[in-house]
Structure 1
């Protein structure tokens, strides 16, 4: 049996046993998200397409899959979705500016040998492509933090229906403080785990610390981590405020 198939079967069994029907939907969502990303990449190869708009559409669809398909449509997923879209929209503009200023678009000199046989005149805006890559790397973490805040906030409101909007908002912020550090570190270690070979290569090439820091490959990944961290930090107050506003407003109505 193919190793990939075997691992997929093991994952499916575990997610089904532990998560039940929600675990099955979570497993299916992996393939749905992969399909969305694949279609986005295909459309991005069209020189007339705008990668920023495509990325925003893809992030919206992925958010719907991760929130509404897995957790169904309810108040916590609705507010989490709205918070995610607001954060992604603002972050996308910011990342597009940062990508152009940092000039991390395209390929690094370490990748020139592999690209030597291909034509570089493909008519695609690599600045926007670079911004799209970064934002697509953050969407999973942002939706995860959003639902991790709105869900316990709803539980707090259900147990204390007379809680004020300010206290509920502060509770959301306190929940976010515990999430912020762990999620940021997860992104950081995911980078070093995935690029351990690159770091070893830098060592074999006798790169200095300055050369490593200024390498386009390294800089692009570090900027991705920082932008993802900014997105995680932003989603906390946004999700907390929107959810507290909705829940308390619903009680008053």
Structure 2
């Protein structure tokens, strides 16, 4: 506990030195979003509640906190939220359509030994839980990229208000292309880094390449990465168009 407190204070000091008042808000928003996520998980444990609906509500609240509490209510945060919502709906439809086809719900055989002492009759629809996991793993990257495009577009339009909607849209695409490669790599290594122990286990268990690819755990992780990459890619044109439209609407 003392170690966690010291690390939290170190993070707070760094965010205050770098971000000032906004850094403090970012630190507070981190714990607010953690609380939203924790409450969402508690609701998902209730068999009478649809996890997808809870995920949708939780993602909207997390997006609002990340955008409005930290950056205030302005054009860039409103357009970023609208773009996030559009991409989120598209992502949710695709995830629901493809999750059952990939058969990633439930636990893999690599997890059976750890769960053998527990009862698996918990009354929860694991196909919907799989949808919730993918969405929750992706929503942060969507919000981050949306505000990263909306904010510089607003500054560009402030300095050059004579720009047309098409020029602003092209500027947004140019900004997004510069961010896309690093964001995709960040998602890829963040997800795979959390499963480094699993890869070592695959090696020690002498899994062949075909067995690794067909493993439920590996397939679920790859599906999350692919959906996250697709959502991040879609966020660029959607945010660019929405921001350019509202900035030049007058």
TM tier relative to shorter chain: over 0.9
Match of 2:178 in 1: 178
CA distance in 1, matches of 2:53, 2:196: 33
* TM-score scaled by length of structure 2: 0.98
After superposition, residues 16-95 of structure 1 pair within 5 angstroms as 16-95=16-95
Match of 1:205 in 2: 205
CA distance in 2, matches of 1:126, 1:232: 25
Report SS of the residue matched to 2:248.
Answer: helix
Question: Does residue 231 of structure 1 match 2:222?
Answer: no
CA distance in 2, matches of 1:179, 1:132: 26
CA distance in 2, matches of 1:226, 1:159: 37
Structure 2 residue ranges without an equivalent (≥5)? none
Q: Deviations over 1:146-199 (max 9, x none)?
A: 000000000110111010000100110111111111100001111222111110
Report SS of the residue matched to 1:124.
Answer: coil
CA distance in 2, matches of 1:185, 1:128: 27
CA distance in 1, matches of 2:125, 2:181: 34
Match of 2:146 in 1: 146
1:86 CA displacement? 1.2
Report SS of the residue matched to 1:106.
Answer: coil
CA distance in 1, matches of 2:178, 2:146: 13
Report SS of the residue matched to 2:117.
Answer: coil
1:26 CA displacement? 0.5
Match of 2:165 in 1: 165
Question: Does residue 103 of structure 1 match 2:98?
Answer: no
CA contact (8 A) 1:83 1:235 kept: yes
After superposition, residues 115-134 of structure 1 pair within 5 angstroms as 115-134=115-134
Q: Deviations over 1:13-38 (max 9, x none)?
A: 00011100100011111111110111
Match of 2:112 in 1: 112
How many residues are matched? 250
1:97 CA displacement? 1.6
1:47 CA displacement? 1.0
1:218 CA displacement? 0.9
1:46 CA displacement? 1.1
* TM-score scaled by length of structure 1: 0.97
Report SS of the residue matched to 1:230.
Answer: helix
CA contact (8 A) 1:56 1:89 kept: no
Structure 1 residue ranges without an equivalent (≥5)? none
CA contact (8 A) 1:157 1:168 kept: yes
Match of 1:137 in 2: 137
Match of 2:14 in 1: 14
Judge which range, 19-28 or 88-97, deviates more.
88-97
